[in-house]
Amino acid sequence: MPTTFFEWVLFFADKYGLYFLQGAGTTLLIASFGTITGLAIGLVVAVLRTVPIEANDPAPRKIFYTVIRWIFVAYIEIFRGTPMIVQSMVIYYGSAELWGLDMSPMTAALFIVSINTGAYMAEIARGGIISIDKGQYEAAQSIGMTHTQTMLHIILPQALRNILPSIGNEFVVNIKDTSVLNVISVTELFFMSKSAAGTYMRYFEVFFITCVIYFVLTFSVTRILLFIEKKMRGSESFVIHGSQTVPHAVIKGGAR
Amino acid sequence: MSENIISVSHLEKSFGGNQVLRDIDFKAYTGDVISIIGSSGSGKSTLLRCINQLEKPTSGAIFFHGKNIQDPGFSLSAYRAKVGMVFQNFNLFNNLSVLQNCVVGQVKVLNRDHGTAAKRALEILEKVGMSQYIEAKPAQISGGQKQRVAIARALAMDPEVLLFDEPTSALDPEMVGEVLNVMGTLAKSGLTMLVVTHEMDFAREVSNRIVFMDEGVIVEDATPEEMFVNPKSERTKAFLNRFRNR
Ligand SMILES: Nc1ncnc2c1ncn2[C@@H]1O[C@H](COP(=O)(O)OP(=O)(O)OP(=O)(O)O)[C@@H](O)[C@H]1O
Ligand SMILES: [Mg+2]
């Protein structure tokens, strides 16, 4: 049996290495799925919430969008105003009790993280949309584009670029917060660690390893996102086509 | 005889309790180049924005080829493609290149295929002298260039009418000329234009009619000669005098 701290760490790393990796994999899977689905939910909610309601719109349309706004506000407030650990319990056990749904913990986990992230993303996306100059929206409208076309082709691409840091932030938060899903026995990193530690009653050593793994995950993700952000900022130069005398010539233009 | 293309009837617009347009009556015929002048806050922009339906009128009606544009069955999208707008602050789509700025509307609103749209966009960018910059993003070109692209973007929809809201007011003085030149060429081509402007030389030389607005009403609607040589209203005289003495 190992005696010192380092021996224990090595022991667990060796014996439970695959176990930890599986946990980390599950954590990453839930976090990525939840972030991407949450982003999709958030974008849809934000776009629908920004559909303008005009005084002279037909009544059914007005009622429809007013009701939708209410539902979305309720959704956002409820999911941002309660802890995800409690949401997990309510949704997992509630769905079985009320509707006899037999969700696997993993299915429940994917659902919970997505819907929870969606509520945050909806607010992030709304912020991104309203931060875009009103002139962009009006210009698109002035050539006849519909609200959806304007959002899809003009506003969202610009908003997404602006909210990319916040999206990355949500991803990192999700990597960490999936740990609460251990309460519904999802075999993510925290759950795996707990069972490994429990077998030998060595909590400090195991969770030291867990801590390092979480950090490596979040740190790598942060770096990758920074890189993507830089890429998305795009090139600062462009090519000028055809001079007066040599039509096929190209001139490099720079940013002003 | 040219045909009545836009007709504004008893138009009123209020923002809260602030009445900005009062009983505006006004007709534009095909080929008209109408300058709209008047002091700041007189409601010129609001009038243009009502015509493009960026603002909903409080009351009154606007007709396009005799059809009420606020009728439930009227396609606002098709109408806006026919009645383009050029803004003071250009409002080029910042996420799109110069070429894409002129393509996106054709593809999404007019359902043209991408090749046809790009070809049309190039033709028009050529006309406004911006075909060399098709790959540039709006942030990479000058104000005058942006405004020429904005004009090209509107023209790419093959509009019948273009509305200009102070198209040169946000430009450095040395760039005003290049934009006014493009507008002068358009005026000669027979495009119907409504131009809110403080450029009195443009109003006098290029337009065939000048509308003077003050405090939300049309005070005078006359030819450039009548307006500049022999204005009827005291308010018009006072406004033009202030301009001459600047
Ligand atoms: N969205 C709005 N909400 C409230 N008031 C507005 C709005 N837009 C314009 N106004 C008011 O309407 C009046 C007319 O504005 P408008 O922009 O039409 O004037 P303008 O003749 O274009 O002036 P300028 O030469 O300064 O552009 C102003 O008093 C302005 O404050
Ligand atoms: Mg104005």
How far, in whole angstroms, is CA B166 from its chain's centroid?
8
Q: Which of B84, B96, B97 sits opposite A143 (nearest CB)?
A: B84
Query: Which residue bears the tokens 């607005």?
Result: B213
| Cα torsion angle, A195, A196, A198, A202, sign | negative
Q: Is residue A245 scored above 70 in pLDDT?
A: no
Q: Please, which pLDDT band fits residue B246 given cuts at 50, 70 and 90?
A: low
Beta bridge partners of B218: B213
The band of A59, judged by pLDDT with boundaries at 50, 70 and 90, is: confident
pLDDT value of position A236: 57
Smallest Cβ–Cβ distance between A136 and the set B70, B78, B91 belongs to B91
CA separation for the pair A190, A183 (Å, rounded): 10
Burial B127-143 (b: 16+ CB within 10 A, else e): bbebbbbbbbbbebbeb
The pLDDT of B2-29, averaged and rounded, is 93
User: Which residue from B45, B89, B212, B239 has its CB within 8 A of the most atoms of ligand 1, so it is best to mutate?
Assistant: B45
The CB of B102 under 6 Å from ligand 1? The reply is: no
Other Cβ atoms closer than 10 A to B162: 23
CATH class of A5-233: mainly alpha
Least confident stretch, A65-74, A104-113, A194-203, B42-51: A194-203
Interchain CB distance below 8 Å, A143 and B81: yes
Residue B92: list chain A partners with CB under 8 A: 139
**pLDDT tier at A235 (50, 70, 90 boundaries)?**
low
What are the pLDDT digits (tens) for A142-197?
Answer: 999 999 999 999 999 999 988 988 999 999 999 999 999 988 888 888 888 888 88
Q: Is the ipTM of this complex over 0.90?
A: yes
The predicted pLDDT at position A239 comes to: 61
**Terminal Cα-to-Cα distance of chain A (whole angstroms):** 68
* Interchain contact B126–A (C-beta under 8 A): no
Residue B55 sits at φ, ψ, to 5 deg, of -120, 140
What is d(CA A136, CA A147) in angstroms, rounded to the nearest whole number? 12
pLDDT band at B24 (very low <50, low <70, confident <90, very high): very high
What is the pTM (predicted TM-score) of this model?
0.85
Query: Which residue is closest in CA terms to ligand 1's atom 5?
Result: B15
Query: Residue type at A150?
Result: T
The structure tokens 């930890």 sit at A20
Confirm if B35 and B220 have CB atoms less than 8 A apart: no
Q: Is residue B201 helix, strand or coil?
A: helix
Confidence label for A244 from pLDDT (cuts 50, 70 and 90): very low
C-alpha B39 – ligand 1 centre gap (Å): 11
Strongest mean pLDDT among A157-161, A198-202, A252-256? A157-161
Q: Parse chain A into domains and list their residue ranges.
A: 5-233
At B216 the pLDDT is 94
How many angstroms separate the CA atoms of B246 and B234, rounded? 19
Q: Does residue B20 have its Cβ closer than 6 Å to ligand 1?
A: yes
**Residues B84-130: pLDDT tens digits?**
999 999 999 999 999 999 999 999 999 999 999 999 999 999 999 99
Give, as one character, the DSSP assignment of residue B228.
H
